[in-house]
Amino acid sequence: MARNEQLIRQHKLLQLLEDSRFGRTIDELKYDLVADLGLSTLHGRTVRRDIEALQAAGYDIQNEMVERGKVYRLGRNHTAVHEIAFSATELIALAIGRELLTPLMGTQYWQGIETFWNKVQEAIPEGVYEHYQRYRKVLYVSGTPSKTYAAHAGMLKTITRCILEHRVVEIEYKSVGRPSSRRQIEPYALAVHQSSIYVVAAAPEVTDASERLRNWKLDRFKLARVTDEYFKPDPKVDLAKFLSKSIGIFSGETSTQVQIRLGPRSASYVKEDPWHPDQVLEPVEPDKNTPDEVDADDDISGTDFILTVPASHPRELLPKVLALGADAEVLSPAEYRDAVANVVGTLADRYGTP
């Protein structure tokens, strides 16, 4: 626990020094650390030891005496510790990645992206940057959502701190179609899925270990508050495995294999833009009882296909199936087929002729 708190404190200390043009005294740094991190107490000696540790790690932190006392600031050479040469191709890749992360705008993560991007632009030779500007026009990024998490920046800082310190966080959460409610969660990580941020957290009141871990959408948070309670993370939790079980963000220890019959056109779409890395697309031949798996370069025109894909909830499959219209039919399991049938029935009643 102490190691995590030290890392958080030193990272914040660097941010304060980066933002300070005229330097800060130990007392000023201590006051800002207490305020920003929500600490109950912090000794000046601890701040001084953190500065010494950062200096030992290679950061050029200088000090001088001024009228208000000894102030500390980052020296001009502190960026040289991590000096890297960039090629035009690497700059293009970095710029594209930056544009894809626009939903993080307004958060501390976007601030880090922007400051890093500005430093890169200042550090690279003029010729390399001109070459980058010419070739950057070859590739454009479109279709990124207009949403940002600027309004959630404070809550995101709180949740990040609780993740690192293994603290229970009290939240006010409003699910779609339900009134908001307060509860406590044990946050493990943050996940970005289709431009939305989710908090992967355990629900303490759930006793079944396979059901405790869930995904909470940050957009639905109305409040996030640090508590004085700590939790012990489950060492058996594999977050990468947990987040890869399904085609969507619905949580669950296990996933369900769903079979969908696709026409040739829809099969082509799903082949071009797979729903999941583990999906299987097999052609249904008239003279065969068992479909054969399709290779990436196979011609799939003129025949129907069976798509087998993992899912954790019918709701995450509905938009994808309905988007394919009559060219897609959920075969099994019955729960998923019935979910689609109910929606199609409602739509038929709504759009049908009286």
Which CATH topology does 3-74 take? Arc Repressor Mutant, subunit A (1.10.10)
**Least confident interval from 56-65, 141-150, 301-310:** 141-150
> In degrees rounded to 5, what are phi and psi of residue 348?
-65, -40
Weakest mean pLDDT among 117-121, 160-164, 262-266: 117-121
Q: Which positions ≥6 away from 314 have C-beta within 8 Å? A: 335, 336, 339, 340
Token pair of 354, please?
Answer: 């009286």
Got the DSSP string for 62-81? EEEEETTEEEEEE-TTGGGG
Q: How confident is the model at residue 247 (pLDDT cuts 50, 70, 90)?
A: confident
Q: pTM score, two decimals?
A: 0.65
Q: Average pLDDT, stretch 277-298?
A: 67
Report how far residue 205's alpha carbon sits from residue 73's, in angstroms, rounded to the nearest whole number: 47
59-63, 159-163, 247-251: which has the highest mean pLDDT?
Answer: 159-163
**Average confidence (pLDDT) over 242-269:** 82
Average pLDDT over residues 290-301: 54
Q: What is the pLDDT of residue 201?
A: 92
**CA 72 vs CA 21, 56, 61, 101, 210: distances in Å:** 10, 15, 7, 33, 50
Q: Band of the pLDDT at 251, cuts 50, 70, 90? A: low
Pick the more confident residue, 187 or 195: 187
79 has pLDDT over 50? no
pLDDT of 334 over the 90 cut: yes
For the ranges 13-27, 73-87, 132-146, 155-169, the maximum mean pLDDT occurs at 155-169
What was the pLDDT predicted at 354? 56
Which of 19-33, 46-60, 336-350 has the highest average model confidence (pLDDT)? 336-350
- Mean pLDDT across the chain, nearest whole number? 82
Q: Which pLDDT band, with edges at 50, 70 and 90, does 85 fall under?
A: low
Query: According to CATH, where is 1.10.10.10 located in the chain?
Result: 3-74
Q: What is the share, in percent, of the chain residues with pLDDT greater than 70?
A: 87
Read off φ and ψ for residue 209, nearest 5 degrees: -60, -30
**What's the pLDDT score for residue 275?**
87
CATH of 150-244, picked from 3.90.190, 1.10.20, 3.40.720, 2.30.30, is: 2.30.30
On the 0-12 / 13-18 / 19+ scale of CB atoms within 10 A, 280 is: middle
Element (H, E) at 52: helix 44-56
* pLDDT tens, residue by residue, 30-62: 988 888 887 778 899 999 999 888 888 777 888
Separation between Cα atoms, residue 47 and residue 53, nearest integer Å? 10
Instruction: Provide the pLDDT confidence category of residue 218 given band limits of 50, 70 and 90.
Output: very high
- Of residues 143 and 204, the one with the higher pLDDT is 204
- Please name which of 187, 154, 166, 170 lies closest in space to residue 36, comparing C-alpha atoms: 154
CATH 2.30.30-classified regions of the chain: 150-244
Highest mean pLDDT among 113-127, 177-191, 291-305: 177-191
Residue 240 in this model has a pLDDT that exceeds 60: yes
Confidence of residue 1 (pLDDT cuts 50, 70, 90): very low
pLDDT > 90? residue 308: yes
Q: Which amino acid, 98?
A: R
pLDDT of residue 303: 83
For the cut 60, the answer to whether the pLDDT of residue 326 exceeds it is: yes
pLDDT interval class at 225 (50, 70, 90) = very high
Confidence of residue 188 (pLDDT cuts 50, 70, 90): very high
pLDDT at 81 over 50: no
